[in-house]
Amino acid sequence: MLMGLYTPEVPREKQPWCLRQTPLHFGSSFPKLGCLSFLFLTRNDSRMSTSDGILDAFLALRYGRLPALDSQVLARLALTVLVAPIVTLFLWFTISWVTSPLRGYPGPFLAGYTNLWRLYHVRTGKYHETMKKLHDKYGPVLRVGPNLLDLDYPELSKVLYGTDGKWRKTEFYHSNSAIVNGKITYHMFSTTDQSEHAQMKRPIVKHYSLGSVLALESHMDNVLGELMQQLDSRFAKGSQGTCDLGEWIAFYAWDLITSVTFSKPFGYMAQGHDFDGSIATADRSLDYFALVGQMPWLDFLLDKNPVVRVGPPNLTNVTNIAMTSLIARAQGQDSNYNPKAPDYLQHFIDSKTTHPEIVHDGMVFGYLLVNLIAGADTTAITLRAIFYYVLKNPAIYSRLIKEIRAAGIDKSNAFPYSQARQLPFLEAVVREALRIHPAVAMPLERYVPAEGFTLPNGEFIPGGAAVGINPYIGNRNKSVWGADADEFKPERWLQDGKGGETDEAYKKRMQKWNACDLSFGAGSRICLGRNLALVETYKLVATILNRYEVELVDREREWETVNSWFWRQKGVEVRLRSRE
């Protein structure tokens, strides 16, 4: 019977979308199983046997002929219609579980049985911690879903996240999409189609190179100027209240991304709060994305259904700003724009001319939204992690201050990137903060290519199974980073003078670590904005610490973190004093 239900001849990618979300070997059998459950539930009724009652009901539907059903039969039919889906689901999950090729992989029983298990753990906001404990218990390969393995093999990053595009993103990413002209439209981050992705990326990728990002430095300096002015007047001079630096970092990151994108800050720093609620709404959207991604078909029920839209919340103001800026610029009426200081909007509009066969207005709009949605919170998370860990460790703080102050940059100016980038301890701090607190802390899911894959421990994963490395797990793997992998130790990124590490050995170690560090992802889907994020980060940290003495209000207090794909934090409260 099982063989009859299984239809391996239908290629997985040709199966209906919702069935592709199911355990890989059993997906197309769901409707057959449903019919079987229905027949099973109706089998013993003397008055509505499978051969008469169901036939009658079928004829009624097909030819409009009313069957001769009495009330008992109708009650039985109604009950069956209600119970059949439940029985079907139960059978479906059970048979899938029993016959799954991933069945031998270790993990909690429920995880292998249903994705609801993962959905529950994502909902707690502590997904990464649970997974870390489970890896400690079960080892490097952990079954976290009927068709998903979480791998603690950071050395496989180059394979899973290669440049050949063979390991396709899973449908986890699909809910980050919109319906445009009646069609679901994905953007560069959410498309799982590698050729569509390459086509989207080609026209704009050069604008994210380090050289292009540095051409935006004047925008960044303006934003830093505004930040210093606000921090001076609100916290560092006069009545000295405490400053929620974590919150101000978010204002900075959002104002900066809109400045480099539209030549106009959102205005969070000027107003001193999330005045339009967009920052909070972005958090809610991420909550939706992280949850629904565990069972992607939910997005069709909650967001893409034609009747009532339930979620995620709309980023109305963000989309409005993108739309009005695009229209004003296209009509030559954008008073914020200075042609001598180009911005992303101009680059995107120009790409319509350089790549007319690919780029249209809808894509320009998509590029703008990706910049705003992917570029602000991620950078803010990294900056918060830097300040939190540095301020918690007085020795690290002193060493960093000494290095920054020795550069001799006037404290009333924004720190130039060219100078900040030459500070080795600052670099070590940035890299360590990205390692210990990656902005993305859930697995970067990919499908194993058709031929399958053999793990370093010799186990084989069949093609079509989903796997992922979670940057949080990989970045704390003790065999790569050492026994102290859970500690914040920037020195680990420097050449070990005391241990007598040779230049050659240091170079080799860095090569290995660079290949294992997934803080920005890797390969063809590596973070597009990493240069922008790093330039922003170096400049902000150096500027603030050059200008102010900063201390945590309570060095013993832990911050609060919530993991919704982005691992965001709350509570970096500081006192600021302008340096003499």
Given 114, 115, 379, 393, the residue binding ligand HEM (CB under 6 A): 379
Which residues, numbered 174-193, are part of the site for ligand HEM (CB under 6 A)? 188-189
**Residue whose CB is nearest to ligand HEM in the complex, by number:** 529
Under the binding rule (CB under 6 A), the answer on residue 382 touching ligand HEM is yes
Q: How far is CA 360 from the centre of its chain?
A: 26
Cβ-contact 439, 378 below 8 angstroms:
yes
Sequence letter at residue 306: P
Q: How far is CA 417 from the centre of its chain?
A: 27
Under the binding rule (CB under 6 A), the answer on residue 525 touching ligand HEM is yes
Q: What is the β-pairing status of strands 466-469 and 148-151? A: parallel
Q: Which stretch binds ligand HEM (CB under 6 A): 15-23, 319-327, 373-381, 473-481?
A: 373-381
Which residues, numbered 526-555, are part of the site for ligand HEM (CB under 6 A)? 527-529, 532-533
Report the nearest approach of ligand HEM to the CB of residue 201 (Å).
6
Q: How far apart are alpha carbons 113 and 139 in whole angstroms?
A: 20
Q: Which stretch binds ligand HEM (CB under 6 A): 370-378, 452-460, 476-484, 555-563?
A: 370-378
Given 33, 321, 444, 572, the residue binding ligand HEM (CB under 6 A): 444
Q: Smaller CB distance to ligand HEM: residue 67 or 443? A: 443
Cβ burial of 456 (10 Å; 0-12, 13-18, 19+) is exposed
Q: Smaller CB distance to ligand HEM: residue 56 or 152? A: 152
Q: How far apart are alpha carbons 42 and 56 in whole angstroms?
A: 13
Cβ burial of 72 (10 Å; 0-12, 13-18, 19+) is exposed
Cβ-contact 261, 349 below 8 angstroms:
no
Given 519, 543, 546, 564, the residue binding ligand HEM (CB under 6 A): 519
Under the binding rule (CB under 6 A), the answer on residue 439 touching ligand HEM is yes
Q: Which stretch binds ligand HEM (CB under 6 A): 122-130, 376-384, 399-407, 488-496?
A: 376-384
Tell whether residue 527 is among the known ligand binding residues: yes
Half-sphere exposure of 257 (CA within 13 A, CB side): 29
Q: Which stretch binds ligand HEM (CB under 6 A): 18-26, 346-354, 425-433, 525-533?
A: 525-533
Given 364, 409, 436, 440, the residue binding ligand HEM (CB under 6 A): 440
The residue among 155, 156, 151 whose CA lies nearest residue 141 is 151
Q: How far apart are alpha carbons 242 and 133 in whole angstroms?
A: 36
Report the nearest approach of ligand HEM to the CB of residue 100 (Å).
25
Interface with ligand HEM (CB under 6 A), residue total 22
The residue among 231, 257, 254 whose CA lies nearest residue 244 is 231
Q: Smaller CB distance to ligand HEM: residue 230 or 371? A: 371
User: What SS3 class is residue 552?
Assistant: strand
Q: Smaller CB distance to ligand HEM: residue 259 or 281? A: 259
CB-based contacts of 107: which residues, under 8 Å, 6+ apart? 134, 138, 142, 143, 144
Please report, as ranges, the residues that interact with ligand HEM according to CB under 6 A. Answer: 188-189, 201, 370-371, 374-375, 378-379, 382, 439-440, 444, 519-521, 525, 527-529, 532-533
- Which amino acids are annotated as binding site, given as ranges? 527
- Which amino acids are annotated as binding site for heme, given as ranges? 527
